[in-house]
Amino acid sequence: MKHKNSVTAALVILPLGLIVFVGARSGFFKKRQPAPQISAPTFLQGQGSKKLKSQERNLSIQREAVRLARTVGKRFDSDKRSTSVLVGTLKIGSEQRQVQTKREQKDDGEKVEIKLSGGGGALTWDASEGVLSAGSRAGNLDRDLTERLVLDSPDQFVLAQLRGASYATVATNVRQSADGPANGQLWNVVRVNDPQTDEAKRALSSWRLYYINVLSGLIDRIVSDFHGQQLTAEFTWTEVNGEKVPAKIRWTSQGQLLMEYQLQNFGYVSNEGGKQR
């Protein structure tokens, strides 16, 4: 899409609320002003002063989650509570904004804070509160975007077990469909069901299918239900200081690109006995 008119046309064609959200919330489709800078993850320095509880989390309940946690690095070690910050760009059509995502691990999973440059208060999510916008209950449009960035994530595949999510391997050694590229990739497909029953707090998609690459052990795509349509998030990975993180995420529905995230910077710190690592 090269012009704003084409983006507007996409809103008419697609019944999804995701694109509408960014435009309505922060003037995404208006003439862009220079975006305020979002700092890189330097604020993580000095975050190692909090002591852990004596009781360790049990991150070994789900076998597939354990495998992924070990594959991506050390930020999911059971005796640590990591805080990571991802700075990147979020692109819809020809427009893009900076977005900073802070993921703080907790005993029951994690708390996530999202800040978009150019306006709007911070969006937050955790298992007990659901999505909040500037501290108040978020509307559906806020929930749409937050769900993409928070729950379409390898972090949630690992940590959802702490809040009672159920995991089921529904297929093994799945090949690319007949109309796709003959790249020889094989996946194990794991379905994760969200345990939250409160309608105001639960995810808009109560389940997700994770396609885990048999060779790399990493998630290649996540499929979910989004307002009655199948939504697919596809991942490209990179490694930063020994940690594997998504370098790019592309969200598509019915063959059309809806949103794209590009990582710019990543950092994390683990608290272990009050010491920063």
DSSP 30-95: SPPPPPPPPPPGGGGTT-TTSPPPSSPP---SSHHHHHHHHHH-STT-TT-EEEEEEEEEEEETTE
SS3 242: coil
**pTM over the 0.75 mark:** yes
* Angle of the 18-26 helix axis to the 4-13 helix axis, nearest 10: 130
User: Is residue 276's pLDDT more than 50?
Assistant: no
The mean pLDDT of 104-133, rounded to a whole number, is 90
The mean pLDDT of 258-273, rounded to a whole number, is 88
pLDDT the model gives residue 277: 42
Buried residues in 112-148 as b, exposed as e (16+ CB within 10 A): bbbbbbbebeebbbbbeebbbbeeeebeebbbbbbbb
* Angle of the 18-26 helix axis to the 140-151 helix axis, nearest 10: 110
- Confidence band for 155, pLDDT divided at 50, 70 and 90: very high
User: Among the listed ranges 38-52, 116-130, 175-189, which one has the minimum average pLDDT value?
Assistant: 38-52
The residue written with tokens 């904004």 in the block is: 97
- What is the rounded distance in angstroms from the CA atom of residue 271 to the CA atom of residue 81? 6
User: Is residue 199's pLDDT more than 90?
Assistant: no
Asked if residue 270 lies in contact with residue 189, where contact means CB atoms within 8 angstroms, the answer is no
Domain boundaries, the chain: 4-30+59-270
The residue written with tokens 């920063």 in the block is: 276
pLDDT the model gives residue 57: 66
- Confidence band for 25, pLDDT divided at 50, 70 and 90: low
Give 4-30+59-270's CATH code, choosing from 2.40.50, 2.50.20, 3.90.1150, 2.40.10. 2.50.20
- Confidence band for 113, pLDDT divided at 50, 70 and 90: very high
- Residue with more model confidence, 34 or 177: 177
